[in-house]
Amino acid sequence: MRQQTDPQKPPYFYLSYAHAEDKSKVEQFFNDLSVSVRDRAGLPLDETVGCCEKGGDREMGLRTSRVMIALLSLPYFKDKTAGREWQIFVMRKALSDSNDTQVIIPVRWLSYSGATPVVINQTPIFNGNGDEPVATMLRSREKRRDYADFVNNLANYIVDSTASFELREIDSIPDDISNAFENVVDPPIDSETPNLMAKQPRNQNIVNNLLIIDRGFAKSIADQINERTANSSGDAVDEVVRSAQASAEPYSVYVVDDNKDLLETIKATCDYSPSPLFNCETYEDPLTLLNKVEGSGIQASPDLFVIDLELAGKSMQGLEVIERLALSLDVPSAIMAISDNLSGSTLLNVAGLSGAVAGLAKPFNEDELLEKMTRLAEIGRNRRLRRIDPTSTDKSRSERPVFVSYSSENNRPARFITNSFEIENIDVFYAGYSIRGGDSPPKEVREGLKKTRVFVPLISADFVKSSFCRAELANALKLKADTSRNPPLKIIPILYDYASNVAKEDDLIAKCLEKNRELNMSKDNPVDTFQILLMRVQQFLRAQSRTATAT
């Protein structure tokens, strides 16, 4: 969570939180907010916009950050360090020119009740159109839309509110700074907590909500049947029935780890989990697993693999196992990486390019494990259903809102982008998953392009050399230029380890970049670029949804 701070460019925000909180969730929120602030402010990916934690970066952030974000909870009110951090920003505001700008922005991190510090009751809380505490939204898959909306709104507020106000920086922090939370009072009866969103008018450009398209098994079977039988197609009914039968079965999970005690604990968690249940098999030796699934057909594959990256004393390490599983045409399962040494975006940067859909850092609790396994197993089962019957009709394949165009030499980053969209419930037309045996690739690609809403070309030196990629890009540019097309097409180019000035030497690429704002993705850090890509796609789909509803 610690970033190097450029003293010439004060961070937009300092994150203040109780040090008894779940650090992994705080870090995820910090990273998500940083990505959104960078995008809102139009800053490069490596620009420092936030600060927190102990040490030199903490002190620099407290002395120079433009606002403070406070994660409210009962542990926070009892945290003396948090109380002093609050008081530092009160002092800096008093030293600054008079202005109504609120420099401490509290957000409700966890639910709390009872007596609270006086300063909390006197300070408007940023609700951001979120009815749930932030940590609750962050932990719940069903609340991911609300969480994304909240982070985006908070980032917009931070950037907009600091544009016309400069908070006074200080050279040092006094040793005797007081704890702002020492005075405690019961909250007023029958009164609402001040709402920062209501206190100040919101910029009309702020997007109120972000759209995450819900597909596959997220809806109940009954809703699927009602929705699909409305136009009463026999093939559609059969397809829903097959999905219903498959989703009624327990999810199958294969776990590889060198820790026998952890394997037994994960299996017990799966065996006694609430619905949906899991059938869990565990392996200490990765070769035993690979011998079982490779070349044995889809029926031998589970819905989900859980692979430990650090396999002590084994002939293969986790990344190699993930790579082999991901490249096997017989194994369409979802893959989750777990790790002792890596966490957050670092874990996903490493494992994602090898083929993992998501990562989970150790130690993890039962709720975290079950929540992530359930979502990933849904993705894996969707893939397996499509692969089991290659001749069946799957109309959704050519109607997915995002189309990823890439050279076969860049399969790893393209697969990472697709997997990352899938975990957010956004369907992607990606040749590796969308074109199956019996398909006509050119025909399927043309149909996918006609019906897509967001075209994402992964532009690299290999992309430029590929006649297929160039044809897809040329067609996409024509579709975007067609003013009669409904819905209109958005193009978001990604330069993958490819300099912009070099890319523009090609006339077709130059034409694409001239009117479409590109993103830059590196091999070492694809996660940050994807976060920005995700937000742009969500905002565009949301705007289209509103337009469709209005008409």
Cα torsion through 498, 500, 503, 509, rounded to 10? 120
pTM score of the predicted model: 0.52
Sheet of strand 104-108, all strands in order from the earlier edge strand to the far edge: 50-51, 13-16, 67-72, 104-108
Residues 306 and 418 in one domain: no
Residues 81 and 190 in one domain: yes
Asked whether residue 304 is domain-assigned, the answer is yes
Residues 186 and 286 in one domain: no
> 336, 359, 388 — which closes off a domain?
388
Residues 373 and 418 in one domain: no
Residues 380 and 406 in one domain: no
Please give the pLDDT value at position 288.
92
- Beta bridge partner(s), residue 491: 455
Residues 380 and 410 in one domain: no
Residue 3 pLDDT exceeds 60? no
The tokens for 109 are 């991190």
Asked whether residue 242 is domain-assigned, the answer is no
Closest C-alpha to 400, from 381, 388, 384, 386: 386
Please give the pLDDT value at position 395.
47
Residues 259 and 407 in one domain: no
Domain count across the chain: 3
CATH of the domain at 321: 3.40.50.2300
Taking residues 191-206, what's their average pLDDT?
38
12-26, 83-97, 118-132, 175-189: which has the minimum mean pLDDT?
175-189
49-53, 226-230, 542-546: which has the minimum mean pLDDT?
226-230
Taking residues 367-386, what's their average pLDDT?
83
CATH of the domain at 414: 3.40.50.10140
Residues 175 and 266 in one domain: no
The tokens for 76 are 């926070």
Please give the pLDDT value at position 328.
76
Residues 188 and 278 in one domain: no
Asked whether residue 72 is domain-assigned, the answer is yes
pLDDT band for position 129 (cuts 50, 70, 90): low
Percent of the residues in the chain that have a pLDDT greater than 70, as a whole number: 76
Paired sense of beta strands 116-117 and 184-185, if any? antiparallel
Asked whether residue 232 is domain-assigned, the answer is no
Asked whether residue 305 is domain-assigned, the answer is yes
89-103, 174-188, 217-231, 494-508: which has the minimum mean pLDDT?
217-231
Residue 511 pLDDT exceeds 90? yes
* Domain residue limits at 466: 395-550
Q: What number of CA atoms fall less than 13 Å from residue 531's CA on the CB side?
A: 24
Element housing 455 (H / E): strand 454-459
C-beta neighbour count of 299 within 10 angstroms: 8
Asked whether residue 2 is domain-assigned, the answer is no
**pLDDT tens digits for 377-417?**
988 887 777 766 644 444 444 467 899 999 988 988 998 89
> 388, 409, 443 — which closes off a domain?
388
Please give the pLDDT value at position 282.
95
Asked whether residue 122 is domain-assigned, the answer is yes
Asked whether residue 229 is domain-assigned, the answer is no
Residues 128 and 60 in one domain: yes
> 388, 407, 436 — which closes off a domain?
388
Cα torsion through 434, 440, 445, 450, rounded to 10? -110
Reported for 111-116, long-range contacts at CB under 8 A and 24+ positions apart, including other chains, are: 111/136, 112/72, 112/73, 112/74, 112/77, 114/74, 114/186, 114/187, 115/184, 115/185, 115/186, 115/187, 116/77, 116/184, 116/185, 116/186, 116/187
Paired sense of beta strands 184-185 and 454-459, if any? unpaired
Taking residues 291-315, what's their average pLDDT?
85
Residues 406 and 384 in one domain: no
230-244, 268-282, 349-363, 415-429: which has the minimum mean pLDDT?
230-244
Closest C-alpha to 318, from 344, 342, 294, 293: 342
Residues 70 and 98 in one domain: yes
Taking residues 209-231, what's their average pLDDT?
32
The tokens for 268 are 């017990």
Residue 308 pLDDT exceeds 90? yes
Average pLDDT value for the chain: 78
Residue 521 pLDDT exceeds 90? yes
* All residues at 6 or more sequence positions from 188 whose CB lies less than 8 Å from its CB, including other chains: 121
